[in-house]
């Protein structure tokens, strides 16, 4: 039976994303970095990419590439170039460790809970980016939310997933002004190529049979097949 732990939800999810799905973490980090740099470049230009606007003061002029080392591997960062002047994401490349920590934290949270304007505002503030307007942050959050949701609901078509491990943790979260316990249900499978893959993460109010049943049914509906062995601790309801 899982008991409540004082753990960092961001760290818990980041560790699992890194260990089980490094390609996923690299992809989501790249998505967030590109979105942040694009929004900052748009702010300097006074208009969005390819947008016709009387307020435009500059325009894009291709990209220059830099390597960005992360715990999930090296990312090829395509930095927007401007026709007049220059743009450099010092919040990313001069404060690498701080930037990666903030980015992986928000990636983990958004993977589980989706993207919100408030989360994006906190990320932007933590990185020291001051040039983005609230409307830019809102548009960016909406675009990223769609990409994160597409991954969370993706077809599980890399099977058969012969081995599946199910795990759960009781976490303390703030909800409606109160601190309550929630149950994070996690499933990791070994795909046809022999690599571990995060199949799904869900949060339930109670770790009972109904919660686990709904979780596994959602995985089967997305294409989970070929399972020969499931391992788990003695979680209630499972």
- The residues with which 63 forms a beta bridge, in sequence order, are 80
Q: CA–CA separation, 31 vs 58, rounded Å?
A: 24
Answer whether 14's CB lies under 8 Å from 21's CB.
Answer: no
At 22 the pLDDT is 64
Domain end (from 152, 174, 194): 152
Instruction: Return the DSSP state at 62.
Output: E
Give pTM, 2 decimals: 0.69
Strand 178-190, strand 196-204: pairing: antiparallel
Residue 115 contacts by C-beta under 8 Å, 6 or more apart in sequence?
Answer: 141, 142, 144, 145, 148
Residue 202 is inside which H or E element, if any? strand 196-204
Point out the residues of the chain with pLDDT beneath 50.
Answer: 1-7
CB 36 within 8 A of CB 23: no
Give the residue carrying structure tokens 């690599």: 195
Question: Are 77 and 164 members of one domain?
Answer: no
Each residue's pLDDT tens digit, 179-228? 888 888 889 999 888 888 889 988 888 778 888 999 999 999 999 999 99
Q: Does residue 7 form part of some domain?
A: no
Instruction: Examine the domain organization and report whether 89 and 72 are in the same domain.
Output: yes
Please give the pLDDT value at position 8.
56
- Claim to verify: residue 119 and residue 43 sit in the same structural domain: yes
Measure the CA–CA gap between 17 and 203, rounded to whole angstroms: 16
Do 23 and 133 reside in the same domain of the chain? yes
The answer to whether residue 2 is domain-embedded is no
Q: Are residues 202 and 94 both part of a single domain?
A: no
Whether 55 and 137 share a structural domain: yes
Q: Residues 220, 135: one domain?
A: no
């Amino acid at each position: 039976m899982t008991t409540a732990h004082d753990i960092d939800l961001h760290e818990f999810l980041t560790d699992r994303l890194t260990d089980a799905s490094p390609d996923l973490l690299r992809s989501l980090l790249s998505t967030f970095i590109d979105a942040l740099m694009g929004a900052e470049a748009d702010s300097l230009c006074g208009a969005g990419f390819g947008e016709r606007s009387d307020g435009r003061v500059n325009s894009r002029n291709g990209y220059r590439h830099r390597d960005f080392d992360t715990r999930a591997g090296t990312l090829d960062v395509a930095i927007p170039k401007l026709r007049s002047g220059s743009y450099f994401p010092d919040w990313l490349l001069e404060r690498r460790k701080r930037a990666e920590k903030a980015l992986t934290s928000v990636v983990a949270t958004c993977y589980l809970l989706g993207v919100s304007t408030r989360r994006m505002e906190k990320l932007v503030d933590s990185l020291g980016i001051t040039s983005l307007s609230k409307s830019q942050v809102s548009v960016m959050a909406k675009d990223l939310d769609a990409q994160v949701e597409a991954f969370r609901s993706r077809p599980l078509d890399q099977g058969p997933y012969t081995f599946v491990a199910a795990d759960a943790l009781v976490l303390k979260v703030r909800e409606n002004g109160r601190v309550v316990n929630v149950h994070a249900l996690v499933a990791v499978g070994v795909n046809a190529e022999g690599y571990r893959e995060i199949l799904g993460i869900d949060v339930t109010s109670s770790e009972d049979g109904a919660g686990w049943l709904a979780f596994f049914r959602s995985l089967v509906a997305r294409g989970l097949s070929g399972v020969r062995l499931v391992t788990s601790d003695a979680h209630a309801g499972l």
